[in-house]
Amino acid sequence: MPDVSKMKKPDVKVVLLGDMHVGKTSLLHRYTERKFKDTTSTVGGAFFLKQWGPYNISIWDTAGREQFHGLGSMYCRGAAAVILTYDVTNWQSLSELEERFLSLTDTANHDCIYAIVGNKADLTDPKAQLSPNSDSFSEDQTDIVEDRTEPQVLSACPTPPASPTSLSGVVPRKQVSREDAMALYGRILRYKGLDEKSSLPADKMCFETSAKTGYNVDALFETLFDLVLPSILRKRHENHESPTVDLEDCRGSGKRVRSSCC
């Protein structure tokens, strides 16, 4: 367990949302560890701290299982970017984004950025079957903190079985086109009351990825990191304008500390 007091403070938060089995944890592993490894269904949530230039970005991996649904809006609170993830071979996983996950983002920042990500593209798209040779893993420090929100539920829940496609050996069919994802992006903008013309365009914010081969994974995260920089700068500016008291500094001093603003 890392010593939380020594951890860097995140400047901004990016959250992965989506149905169980779409590959949220695998995408995060691929990006942070440059590997595709076995996963177990996520319980509660966990975050990884990524250093991006001088900034620290927390990337939250959340559980897609229905029983953890209530936690979703808590994880989205104050998010600067949300990655709405579906499985390109599973139409239902796209519709769930609209029906079940979109409302969880009501707690995100008002200028939150949305990306729609169709994962498992290696199953349907030959170009996604090739590992990108630009596998330039940044040596930035990455910390992991597990946030086991419901330990009892954790141990009581069996890991769901692998998806039928992986068991049957049948080549899965692509069920969700990029156009479907872009249409959803448009509906999300409308849900948020945003004007399509002044928002980031759908073709920039809809990705197809493969956590298995690494296809488009760096592009996804790094596009978002660049896009949240203004949000980081605004937050730093606001903190500078109205400084808050660091309780850590006051601990043990025995003195009552007064906020500088009053």
| Residue 32 interacts with Mg ion (CB under 5 A): yes or no | no
> How many Å apart are CA 33 and CA 20, to the nearest integer?
21
Would you put residue 252 in left (φ > 0), alpha (ψ -120 to 50) or beta?
left
For Mg ion, the binding residues in 33-62 under the rule CB under 5 A are 42
| Residue 43, CA distances (Å) to 72, 146, 157 in order | 12, 10, 9
Contact stretch for ligand GTP (CB under 6 A) within 39-47, 74-82, 221-229, 232-240: 39-47
For ligand GTP, the binding residues in 133-152 under the rule CB under 6 A are none
Q: Which does 13 bind (CB under 5 to 8 A by kind): Mg ion, ligand GTP, none?
A: none
| Residue 56 interacts with ligand GTP (CB under 6 A): yes or no | no
For ligand GTP, the binding residues in 151-180 under the rule CB under 6 A are 162
Give me the helices (H) in the chain, please.
Answer: 24-33, 72-76, 91-96, 151-156, 164-168, 178-191, 202-205, 217-241, 247-250
| Residue 107 interacts with ligand GTP (CB under 6 A): yes or no | no
3-state class of 112 per DSSP? coil
CA atoms lying within 13 Å on the CB side of residue 179 = 0
Residue showing tokens 């899965």: 172
Q: Which does 65 bind (CB under 5 to 8 A by kind): ligand GTP, Mg ion, none?
A: ligand GTP
Q: Which residues pair with 48 in a beta bridge?
A: 59, 144
Q: Which does 12 bind (CB under 5 to 8 A by kind): ligand GTP, Mg ion, none?
A: none
| Residue 116 interacts with ligand GTP (CB under 6 A): yes or no | no
| Residue 24 interacts with ligand GTP (CB under 6 A): yes or no | yes
| Residue 21 interacts with ligand GTP (CB under 6 A): yes or no | yes
| Residue 25 interacts with Mg ion (CB under 5 A): yes or no | yes
Q: 217-241 vs 24-33: helix axis angle to the nearest 10?
A: 80
Instruction: Give residues in contact with ligand GTP (CB under 6 A).
Output: 18, 20-26, 39, 41-42, 63-65, 119-120, 122-123, 162, 210-212
